[in-house]
Structure 1
């Protein structure tokens, strides 16, 4: 299969109706396994009426059991994360569905190839930093007793994703899960460990911790609160327990009540491992 063109995947991810039709009805062909994934993640293509695109397929049968998430639920959580992110209007997660494939039911998501020309989203800087336009995450050991400051870009697209991650209770926002697309969007991927009832937020996007939410974020969360009690809640219900769905609504309410981005927990590791 030829190498993925970053512009093609980005264009389809942005055309949500076309992407969802292809995901739901296209012929799914497996081309290989993504070897650095902790669960079975398969690199595939979809074809429908002469249109084709690349995608990732994660069959439920390939999920490894986790001590803190019910077995066989990760694919559904990925779909629920997409549905919630789509409801914000921010287009932060590539179109994602749950469907049958060669290895049974699984999550299928449009493949977004990172744009090699995009500016970096993360960097290591002098511990005295951060430099202008960057926000600090954590001081890191870089060998031979030296330290550096791990930072992320001070960017509205990432800030929106930080808000969504707080609602999702995302336990695994690594640097490698941030994809700068060819059209200028930033997508987040790998949302299998989300929607836990207890607090598990682990992310590299701590640069706005305790800062006031933007007016845009507040308006979006207000709308999301209503949609969780309506149509969005209905779409999430097949993938989550009642307690998990209620907890998502409570996290939205907590964010609105505080009016600020959350701070790292003192009871749970706040940085995923490995971070990048």
Structure 2
């Protein structure tokens, strides 16, 4: 009699792990402006590190409704995935030890060439894009630049779509898989223009064909009744979904990266 065939263990997806896994708090990230807890999550033999941000730990903001930041983080992941680009770590909404919150796969940043710099020059050097001049003290200014990196450029497009009000250098995580992940998307999707980012280096330049294709796919997925639009309806308001559609339409109509509007501080400071 032959031995029974051994069935290999099923591979657990990041979404399953984050959604169904047992969440154990290991510590608190004290630098975060809202409660951010470093955790592990385990499910059916799979285990990973993650970050859990409970709604109960969100500080009130004057321009965003209370208790909505976790949902906005999940919405940013959903929209990022819909572009076909890998831009935001897997992120879900779930219950945890301190109530409902956002749970995101932890990304361990790896050393990489600089993405941002302050340089004593009037123009950016080869491989860099200028953001603007910054006061560095004692009456001196320096030119803030970012790398002319396709991964950053994709994040700049995503930020324009989700209306990111706080894209800082510390929110950019280069990972061992070669991807560059953006994190901390709680202040996004406002219906009013609030784009505030360090990634202005391509402002006014034509979108790449890759970006036009991604935005076209996103435009289809944001239509009423489409799966993405249905998921977003549980995360942000109808008015915010309409505003997201309008931003995608405007990007495709102009064919260019947006420029600062002048009604809102365009660059977060400090840049990290």
What TM bracket, shorter-length normalisation? over 0.9
Matching residue of 2:121: 127
Matching residue of 2:5: none
Alignment of 1:213-252 (within 5 A): 213-229=207-223, 230-252=226-248
Contact 1:135 / 1:207 at 8 angstroms: preserved in 2? yes
Measured against aligned partners, the alpha-carbon deviations of 1:86-123 in whole angstroms (never above 9, x if no partner) come to 0111010000000000000000000001102x111111
User: Could you list the runs of 5+ residues in structure 2 that have no partner in the other structure?
Assistant: 1-10
Structure 1 position 32, deviation (Å): 1.1
Whether 1:46 aligns to 2:41 is yes
Structure 1 residues 17 and 249, CA gap change in structure 2 (3 angstroms): farther
- CA distance in 1 between counterparts of 2:227 and 2:14 reads 21
Rg: which structure is higher? 2
Whether 1:103 aligns to 2:115 is no
Alignment of 1:1-276 (within 5 A): 18-116=13-111, 118-229=112-223, 230-276=226-272
- CA distance in 1 between counterparts of 2:79 and 2:271 reads 24
Matching residue of 1:8: none
- CA distance in 1 between counterparts of 2:236 and 2:262 reads 27
User: Of Structure 1 and Structure 2, which has the larger fraction of its residues in helix?
Assistant: 1
Give the match's secondary structure for 1:200: coil
- CA distance in 2 between counterparts of 1:53 and 1:220 reads 30
Structure 1 position 17, deviation (Å): 6.8
Q: TM-score, normalised by structure 2?
A: 0.93
Measured against aligned partners, the alpha-carbon deviations of 1:206-236 in whole angstroms (never above 9, x if no partner) come to 0000001111111111111110111110010
Give the match's secondary structure for 2:184: coil
- CA distance in 1 between counterparts of 2:126 and 2:119 reads 11
Measured against aligned partners, the alpha-carbon deviations of 1:149-187 in whole angstroms (never above 9, x if no partner) come to 111000111101100100000000001000011121100
